[in-house]
Amino acid sequence: MHVALLESQPTLGESLRTVVENLGHRCTTVRTLSHALTLVEKDPPHVAFVTLNGPRKESLHFLEKVQALNDPFPIIVLSPQPCLEDAVQAMQRGAQDFWVLPVDQERLRQTLLWLEERRKADGLGERAPSAAPGDEIVTRNPAMLNLKRIALKVAASNATVFIQGESGTGKELFARFIHRNSRRARGPFLAVNCAALPENLLESELFGYEKGAFTGANRQRKGKFELAHQGTLLLDEITEIPVHLQAKLLRVLQEGEIDRLGGRYPVPVDVRVLSTTNVDVAAAVREQRFRKDLYYRLNVIPLKIPPLRERLDDIPVLVDHFLHRFQKTLGASTVKVSPQTLKKLQSYPWPGNVRELENVLQRAVLLAEKPVLDPEDLEFDPVETHHNAPLPLMSLEEMERRMIQKALTKTDGNRTRAAEILGISVRTLRNKLHEYAKDFSDRT
């Protein structure tokens, strides 16, 4: 693959060139805008890296010139320091991504690999990976693209972001997107599901405890706020936090310090907090289930993710994305969907949103007997099925048996790999095999 580098400083240019060539790619380094435009005419690259060390106007002008081409190539902008204004201007002019120097070699390797896969797939007319490494927000919907632009803008700041949306819309993906594009990207990203922990455990999980704080506390334990120091902490389903803990959380956000259970002194923490919820926050505030002052403290930047039924134009790209992933993770052969199947997918209300779509497609791929999925291959979750949606064609027990059988067939009876494909533990699979012994006796 031909990689171009527009860089005014020879030292940086040579070091990047060495890395690119060691990865097996051809690299051309140019120093000025005029030389870069000449290169585009005579030997256009497959991807270009443009640094902002020199005159910014020239670099941004190069972006505009490339976007005006009949066949523009992707450009990644490199900046010596994080700058929100530069990032926004670059993305508005068509940059594929905005990186802060120094370049992480593994990120560079993964990105060039992804771009090479896309280029080869386009040339062969095959399905290409639809999301860059580290960006799982696959969309072409205008509202979602606008949310990504907002998320990119606020990523460079330290503002709290409140991400709201139904279950399965991709709230955590947005949180991870913000973290990866922030100054804290090299720090930890931790997530706590506030709805999954009982009240007595949630406090110690968040704030930690000292030795002897309670029966069984035989050592000091750091909480998630301390473990996420200089990184990002995602409080998932934050509206499920008990009211008395909300007061303690508010103090952390205001003072930048936490109190461990049983602790004598506050502990300073440097953490960016992102939060999500799938409930009506305004109603929770009115019903005094969620503190108004905490809501205003968290809701500095609100992101409201639309449900999948309001962005049906995303279904084709999401289908391509998931099928390409399953081809790798499940070891499945290339599978496509028929136009009738795509139409059926776009006519379903998707109460479980993108997560439900992924599950439906995974079931179809596991059970598929042919390379093209037809409408009758789709089995919707009866728990999520809308009253106007098609009813399932088999019982859950029968579907479960068929999926286990398919997974074992694909893995030649390897239970560990089959359990990974099915998303269950080996122990659960073993119990299911025992339960369905008469059906799987020949294989197991």
Distance CA 303, CA 251 (A): 23
Domain residue spans of the chain: 2-123, 142-304, 308-373, 396-442
331 or 244, which is more confident? 244
Distance CA 331, CA 411 (A): 9
Residue 136 has pLDDT above 80, yes or no: no
Angle of the 142-155 helix axis to the 171-180 helix axis, nearest 10: 40
Q: Which CATH architecture has domain 308-373?
A: Orthogonal Bundle (1.10)
In the chain, the percentage of residues whose pLDDT exceeds 70 is 87
Residue 124 has pLDDT above 50, yes or no: no
Q: Select the highest-mean-pLDDT range: 82-86, 153-157, 178-182, 340-344.
A: 340-344
CATH of the structural domain 142-304, one choice from 3.40.50.300, 3.40.50.720, 3.20.20.210, 3.90.650.10 = 3.40.50.300
Give the CATH superfamily of 2-123.
Answer: Response regulator (3.40.50.2300)
**What class, spelled out in words, does domain 396-442 have in CATH?**
mainly alpha
Instruction: Return the minimum-mean-pLDDT range out of 35-49, 287-301, 318-332, 387-401.
Output: 387-401
Q: Let me know if the fold of 2-123 is the same as that of 142-304.
A: yes
Residue 391 has pLDDT above 50, yes or no: no
Q: Select the highest-mean-pLDDT range: 4-13, 168-177, 209-218.
A: 168-177
Q: What 3-state class would DSSP assign to 75?
A: strand
Choose among 297, 319, 209: nearest CA to 246. 297
Q: Which residues contact 117 (CB under 8 A, 6 or more apart)?
A: 128, 129
Q: What is the pLDDT of residue 270?
A: 93
- 89 pLDDT tier (thresholds 50, 70, 90): confident
Residue 239 has pLDDT above 90, yes or no: yes
Average pLDDT over residues 403-431: 79
> b/e map of 268-302 (b: 16 or more CB within 10 Å)?
ebebbbbbbbbeebeebbeeebbbeebbebbeebe
- 354 pLDDT tier (thresholds 50, 70, 90): very high
Q: What is the pLDDT of residue 135?
A: 62
Q: Select the highest-mean-pLDDT range: 87-91, 183-187, 282-286.
A: 282-286
Residue 410 has pLDDT above 80, yes or no: no
CA 438 to chain centre: 41
Average pLDDT over residues 355-360: 92
Residue 97 has pLDDT above 90, yes or no: no
With contact defined as beta carbons under 8 Å apart, do 214 and 262 qualify?
A: yes
Residue 440 has pLDDT above 80, yes or no: no
- 337 pLDDT tier (thresholds 50, 70, 90): very high
**Angle at 382 (CA atoms; ends 373, 351), nearest 5 degrees:** 85
Length of the chain: 444
Q: What is the pLDDT of residue 168?
A: 93
Amino acid letter, 62: F
For 186-216, how does the pLDDT look when each residue is reduced to its tens digit (9 = 90+)? Answer: 899 999 999 888 877 898 999 998 888 787 7
In sequence order, the β-bridge partners of residue 276 are 163
Neighbours of 189 (CB within 10 A): 20
> Rounded to two decimals, what is the model's pTM?
0.64
Residue 443 has pLDDT above 60, yes or no: no
Amino acid letter, 433: L
Q: Which long-range contacts (CB under 8 A, 24 or more apart) does 127-134 make?
A: 127/320, 127/323, 127/324, 127/334, 127/336, 128/324, 129/321, 129/324, 130/317, 130/320, 130/321, 130/324, 131/321, 132/96, 132/97, 133/107, 134/107, 134/110, 134/180
Q: What 3-state class would DSSP assign to 89?
A: helix
- 235 pLDDT tier (thresholds 50, 70, 90): very high
